Amino acid sequence: MNLGVNAFAAGKPDDALLRYQEALKLFEAVNNILGQANVLNNIGLIHVDRFNLAEGLAVFQSALEKYREIDNPLGQMLAIGNMGDIYAHQGKYQDALASFQSGNDIAKKIGNLEGQARLTSNVGEIYYKQKKLDESLTVNQEAFEIAKQINTPYVQVNALHNLADAYAAKGMLPEALNHAQMALDISNKQKLYPLVRAETLNTFGEIYLKQKKPKDALSPFEEALTLSNNARITSSKLRSLRGIGTSYLELGQKQDALTYLRQAQEIYRNAGIDSPDSRKVQDLIDQLAGEKPIRDRE
* pLDDT tens per residue across span 230-264: 888 899 999 999 999 999 999 999 999 999 999 99
Q: What is the pLDDT of residue 1?
A: 62
Domain with CATH 1.25.40.10 in the chain: 1-94, 193-293
> How far apart are alpha carbons 204 and 114 in whole angstroms?
26
The CATH code of domain 193-293 reads: 1.25.40.10
CB of 87 closer than 8 Å to CB of 102: no
pLDDT one-digit tens code per residue, 41-98: 999 999 998 899 999 999 999 999 999 999 999 999 999 999 999 999 999 999 999 9
pLDDT digits (tens, 9 = 90+) for 176-189: 999 999 999 998 88
Contact (Cβ atoms closer than 8 angstroms) between residue 89 and residue 56: no
The count of other CB atoms within 10 Å of the CB of residue 188 is 10
Q: Which CATH architecture has domain 1-94?
A: Alpha Horseshoe (1.25)
pLDDT at 194 over 90: no
Q: What percent of the chain has pLDDT over 70?
A: 93
